[in-house]
Amino acid sequence: MRDLLELSVSAAASGCIYALVALAYLLMIRPTGVINFAVGEWAMVGAFGGFLLLSKYEWPYALGMAAVLGFMLLVGWITERIAVRPLVERGAPLLAAILALLGMLVVFREGISLGFGPDPHQVPEPVSFEYLKLFVIGATLVVFAAVWLFFERTLWGKAFEAVALNRRAAALMGIDLRRVTVASFAGGAAAAGLAGLLVAPNTSAHYLMGVPLAIQGFTALVIGGVGRVEGALLGGLLVAFAEQLTVRYAPLPSGYAQGVPLLLLMLFLLVRPTGLLRARA
Amino acid sequence: MRSALGWVAAAVLLSAVAFFLSGYYNDVYRKLLLWIALALSYNFLFGISGQVAFSHFAFYGIGAYAVVIFLFQLGMPLPLAILAGVLVCSAIALIVAIPSTRLEGFYLALATLALAQLFIVVLNEGGAVTGGTGGLVNYRLPAIFGVYITGPWYTAVIVILVLGTYALLRHLDRSWFGRACRAVRDNPEAAAAMGVNVARTKVIAFTLTSVLAGIAGMVYAFVDNTVNPPIFGLENAFLLLFMVIIGGSGRHAGAIVGAVLLYLLPFVLSPLIGHHHALVFGALMVVVILLQPRGLIGLYDRYPRGQKAH
Amino acid sequence: MTDILEARKLTKRFGGLTAVSELSFAVREREILGLIGPNGAGKSTTFNIIAGAYRADSGEISFLREPIAGLPPHEIARRGVMRTFQHNLPFEGMSVLENVLVGAHTRFGGNLFSRKAAAEEREQHAHAERLVEFVGLGELRYASVDRLSFGQGRLLEIARALAGAPKLILFDEPAAGLTRAEAQRIATVIRGIAERGIAVLLIEHDMHFLLPLAHRVVVLNFGAKIAEGTPDEVRSHPAVLDAYLGHAAAV
């Protein structure tokens, strides 16, 4: 029983990390349609920000975290300006932006590898180790609640929704598409950066940590459905529980557990590509 | 007849190069040729048929592992092992392509991304069959009619692979099938109205190019005489995409230029920035997409194009 | 003359709205049949059902006496029904001539590697060149399609549809968005197509374009047929005047 409880807390904590990455995707996909695989590298940048400020310069955690998130907003903004806006303005197909962001993915990763070397770097935990998982869960819930309120209760959130439904109509209504796009990238980068910061005490900051996170987050998004914010959370938790339950109970070598989310991803893409939760009409 | 002579001349010339290269440079040359073969078939999939897939390099790996496993674990004779490898690649390609191409959007990209990752997981966890993280080693190409093909002679086999791939894809590209692929890429709705079966065209293009990648992988298996998981990682799937886009997607010449440039660039760059050449690739990718969407071959197009009637 | 395409009791609903209701009509060999009606009369829905883009809720369509309702668009093209698009949908990465060659897709046999394939390719190439000449884009045959004006794009749509050697060609508002001169040119081309023995079904809401061109006209309003006959008969038909004048007053 105790075993099951421990497993649940641990799965919930990694599920929350996936959920944050899924949220980062979702924030950008909904208004722009762009699947940005660089979210994993953003998480890595967040983790290295944590290493720099919290480990190296020993800032207090809250201050360091705020600075990292602020920096991530800037990273998102710059990414959009470089790799997305010029293409949107030229009327290039969506695919061009997605491919340019793949180029940025490599630039981020190699840039970090160049600056910090190939070795993993320790990032301190915000609270003592036994409460770390609860902290991750709590922080994620706060973020999801805030994003949910933003979409449901604020005018800006409605603007995002309108753009998600119909770009042309939204533009006619006087919604500034460029601002919504920039905001979605900044917000996506902050969500991904937070995921990186929160996962780093366990995994360390490492320049190759991005792509696995990007894929797990994506799986969570596909399972939960792109239509609703709650879907990202649900999807993240499902992926993590599936993973950990397989490791614990299935008669398979533990390495195969990594394959579970991938099989889930393929299965959902083939059987139910809209995900579990559908967009509200 | 004249064109057949041309192909033979090209094969002799490209193979002859290998006889003048020392061991190390022969190895570089072989891998360059393999990258060109892969870039050509990936260009047909991505650039001509418009399908965004990340599985191409995984199929290269599937082909390589398959032929080694069939030959040395199951003891099949070489022709049968090659045939079985082709069948495995076709079957996997069909399983992924048939459901993915029914759906609009980027489902194929995501499903193939998952496939590429899953392939690595299976390689690492495959126990004795795949050799786990260490892969499979200590094997050599069986004798063909009593002859062991080695050294520059094996390079000639690779030359034939590249030229065969190129000849086949060029022929397809200039036929109604190539036009159907481009039509599906540019506008599926209009393509269907012209009588093109969109889903079938996509599935055929995906399966065919994946099998070509698999065959290149079978040839590769006897270049290093080892196959192991790190060789077939997602990194190289990205690199292949970068080659095609930077060179100029949709054009055979573009794929060749991209493959040559991105394969040789690290040799030039490594004295300057060590192993961080990928940084240059990423930046180059962004710059090309922003400034020269037709790729480097697009720069060349600015010259008068009187001969382009074909 | 015999009927080449026959629609019987086509009905299509979108939610609670009945877009097409119990519509029956026939296209005869070698004729230009106009399907006309005010906006929202169900013309486009009918067009899309015939072209295979929509599926009718009930009713039948036969082409050359074979049922075609519910077939996918590429099957309908294969049987000899080609179409144009109102908003011009060219293949952007290809030249004008290559676009037309895609239109000939159904004319090619299967085997790509046979000796016949090369001859077939040459033959279709020559045929495509003639079609490009026929619509008046000969000078632009090797040009990339993004260099065409909207009106030239419409001519390309027509050449591309003709390349499939259709027995029936469907035009979706061919004059929409064109200048008067361009529309006249399109009308001349359409007459030329009918003279070649190809039946034409034309969807149009502009009476001034359609009436001088069509041999017969079917008038729709609110998804149902309200009149059918020669342009002269239709012009003076009270139900048509009613439907059109009511709308014309608003225009």
Q: Do A255 and B273 touch (CB under 8 A)?
A: no
Render pLDDT for C1-50 as a digit per residue (tens, 0 to 9): 689 999 999 999 998 888 999 999 999 999 999 999 888 888 999 999 99
Smallest Cα–Cα separation from A223: which of A215, A213, A234, A212? A234
Q: Do B196 and C102 touch (CB under 8 A)?
A: yes
Q: Quote the tokens at residue C124.
A: 């279709």
- pLDDT of C48: 93
Q: Do B195 and C74 touch (CB under 8 A)?
A: yes
- As a whole number of angstroms, the distance between CA A46 and CA A69 comes to 8
Pairing verdict, β C199-204 and C168-172: parallel
C227: three-class secondary structure by DSSP: strand
C54 to chain B, minimum CA–CA distance in Å? 13
Residue with tokens 């929509």: C54
Smallest Cα–Cα separation from A19: which of A260, A209, A213, A269? A213
> What are the distances in angstroms from CA C190 to CA B112, B160, B199, C140?
47, 52, 32, 20
| Residue A242 predicted with pLDDT over 50 | yes
Q: Check if the beta carbon of residue C186 is closer than 8 Å to that of residue C134.
A: no
Q: Do C102 and B198 touch (CB under 8 A)?
A: no
Phi, psi angle pair for A121, to nearest 5°: -120, 135
Smallest Cα–Cα separation from A72: which of A182, A190, A200? A190
Mean pLDDT computed over every residue of chain A: 89
- pLDDT of A44: 97
Q: Using a CB-CB distance cutoff of 8 angstroms, which residues of chain B are in contact with residue C121?
A: 174-176
Q: Using a CB-CB distance cutoff of 8 angstroms, which residues of chain A are in contact with residue B100?
A: 269-270
B128 to chain C, minimum CA–CA distance in Å? 42
Q: Do B198 and C105 touch (CB under 8 A)?
A: no
Q: Quote the tokens at residue B64.
A: 């390589």
Q: Check if the beta carbon of residue A20 is closer than 8 Å to that of residue A140.
A: yes
Q: Which span out of A149-158, A175-184, C67-76 was modeled with the highest average pLDDT?
A: C67-76
B202 in reach of chain C (CB within 8 A)? no
> In this complex, how many residue pairs, one in chain B and one in chain C, have their CB atoms less than 8 Å apart?
84
Q: Quote the tokens at residue C90.
A: 């060219």
Q: Using a CB-CB distance cutoff of 8 angstroms, which residues of chain B are in contact with residue A266?
A: 96, 111, 114-115, 118
Contacts of residue A272, defined as CB under 8 A and 6 or more positions apart, other chains included, come to none
CB neighbours of residue A59 within 10 Å: 17
- pLDDT of B104: 66
- As a whole number of angstroms, the distance between CA A203 and CA C15 comes to 53
- State the best of A262, A268, A271 to mutate against chain B, taking most chain B CBs within 10 Å: A262
B260 to chain C, minimum CA–CA distance in Å? 25
Q: Which amino acid is present at B129?
A: V
Render pLDDT for C141-155 as a digit per residue (tens, 0 to 9): 999 999 999 999 999
DSSP track, B28-88: HHHHHHHHHHHHHHHIIIIIIS----S-HHHHHHHHHHHHHIIIIIS---HHHHHHHHHHH
Q: Check if the beta carbon of residue C61 is closer than 8 Å to that of residue C9.
A: no
Q: Do B286 and A110 touch (CB under 8 A)?
A: no
Q: Using a CB-CB distance cutoff of 8 angstroms, which residues of chain C are in contact with residue B176?
A: 101, 104-105, 108, 112, 121
Mean pLDDT, rounded, for A211-230: 89
Identify whether A280 is part of a domain.
no
* Total domains present in chain B: 1
Smallest Cα–Cα separation from A104: which of A120, A86, A83? A83
CB neighbours of residue A206 within 10 Å: 19
> CA-nearest residue of chain B to A266?
B111
A42 to chain B, minimum CA–CA distance in Å? 15
Q: Using a CB-CB distance cutoff of 8 angstroms, which residues of chain C are in contact with residue B175?
A: 112, 117, 121
B96 to chain A, minimum CA–CA distance in Å? 9
> CA-nearest residue of chain A to B277?
A110
B267 to chain C, minimum CA–CA distance in Å? 35
A102 in reach of chain B (CB within 8 A)? yes
Worst-scoring range by mean pLDDT, A240-244, A263-267, C65-69, C209-213?
A263-267
- As a whole number of angstroms, the distance between CA C12 and CA C58 comes to 7
Of B118, B276, B289, the CB nearest to A103: B289
Domain spans of chain C?
Answer: 1-80+169-251, 92-165
Checking C138-147 for CB contacts under 8 A at 24+ apart, the result is C140/C96, C141/C95, C141/C96, C141/C97, C142/B308, C142/B309, C142/C95, C142/C96, C142/C97, C143/C95, C143/C96, C144/C94, C144/C95, C145/C90, C145/C91, C145/C92, C145/C94, C145/C95, C145/C96, C145/C99, C146/C92
A93 in reach of chain B (CB within 8 A)? no
B180 in reach of chain C (CB within 8 A)? yes
Q: Do A211 and B234 touch (CB under 8 A)?
A: yes
Of A107, A215, A273, the CB nearest to B283: A107
Worst-scoring range by mean pLDDT, A37-46, B298-307, C212-221?
B298-307
Mean pLDDT, rounded, for C150-178: 95
Residues of chain B with pLDDT under 70: 1-2, 103-105, 302-310
Mean pLDDT, rounded, for C46-61: 94
A6 to chain B, minimum CA–CA distance in Å? 27
Identify whether B289 is part of a domain.
no
DSSP label of B141: P
Identify whether B262 is part of a domain.
no
- State the best of A32, A98, A99, A226 to mutate against chain B, taking most chain B CBs within 10 Å: A99
Q: Structural domain of residue B25, as residue ranges?
A: 2-232
Q: Using a CB-CB distance cutoff of 8 angstroms, which residues of chain C are in contact with residue B183?
A: 91, 94, 102, 105
- State the best of B285, B287, B288, B291 to mutate against chain A, taking most chain A CBs within 10 Å: B285
Q: Please name every residue paired with C3 in a beta bridge, in sequence order, or none if there are none.
A: C28
| Nearest 10 degrees: Cα torsion B28, B34, B37, B38 | -110
Answer positive or negative: Cα dihedral of A200, A203, A207, A208: negative
Contacts of residue B159, defined as CB under 8 A and 6 or more positions apart, other chains included, come to B11, B14, B15, B18, B33
C250 to chain B, minimum CA–CA distance in Å? 34
Interface of C with B in 147-206 (CB under 8 A): 160, 164
Identify whether A190 is part of a domain.
yes
- Structure confidence at residue A136 as a pLDDT band (50, 70, 90): very high
pTM: 0.92
Q: What are chain A's partners, defined as 3 or more CB pairs within 8 angstroms?
A: B
Q: Do C164 and B179 touch (CB under 8 A)?
A: no
B205 to chain C, minimum CA–CA distance in Å? 14
C202: three-class secondary structure by DSSP: strand
- As a whole number of angstroms, the distance between CA C152 and CA C186 comes to 10
> CA-nearest residue of chain C to B174?
C121
- As a whole number of angstroms, the distance between CA A102 and CA C4 comes to 53
| Residue A182 predicted with pLDDT over 80 | yes
- Structure confidence at residue C248 as a pLDDT band (50, 70, 90): low
Q: Structural domain of residue A147, as residue ranges?
A: 2-271
- pLDDT of B304: 56
Q: Using a CB-CB distance cutoff of 8 angstroms, which residues of chain C are in contact with residue B187?
A: 89-92
High-pLDDT (> 70) share of chain C, %: 97
CATH, domain range C1-80+169-251: 3.40.50.300
High-pLDDT (> 90) share of chain A, %: 60
Render pLDDT for C222-234 as a digit per residue (tens, 0 to 9): 889 999 999 999 8
Q: Do A110 and B100 touch (CB under 8 A)?
A: no
Q: What are chain B's partners, defined as 3 or more CB pairs within 8 angstroms?
A: A, C
DSSP label of B224: S
| Residue C197 predicted with pLDDT over 90 | yes
* Total domains present in chain A: 1
Q: Do A270 and B286 touch (CB under 8 A)?
A: no
- Sheet of C66-67, strands arranged across: C17-28, C3-14, C58-63, C66-67
Q: Do A215 and B286 touch (CB under 8 A)?
A: no
CB neighbours of residue B152 within 10 Å: 18
Q: Do A99 and B118 touch (CB under 8 A)?
A: no
Q: Do B286 and A100 touch (CB under 8 A)?
A: yes
Mean pLDDT, rounded, for A77-82: 96
CATH code: domain of residue A249: 1.10.3470
How long a stretch of residues is chain A? Answer: 281
Contacts of residue B173, defined as CB under 8 A and 6 or more positions apart, other chains included, come to B44, B48, B181, B252
- pLDDT of B53: 94
Q: Please name every residue paired with C219 in a beta bridge, in sequence order, or none if there are none.
A: C36, C227
Q: Using a CB-CB distance cutoff of 8 angstroms, which residues of chain B are in contact with residue A106?
A: 238, 242, 278-279, 281-282, 285
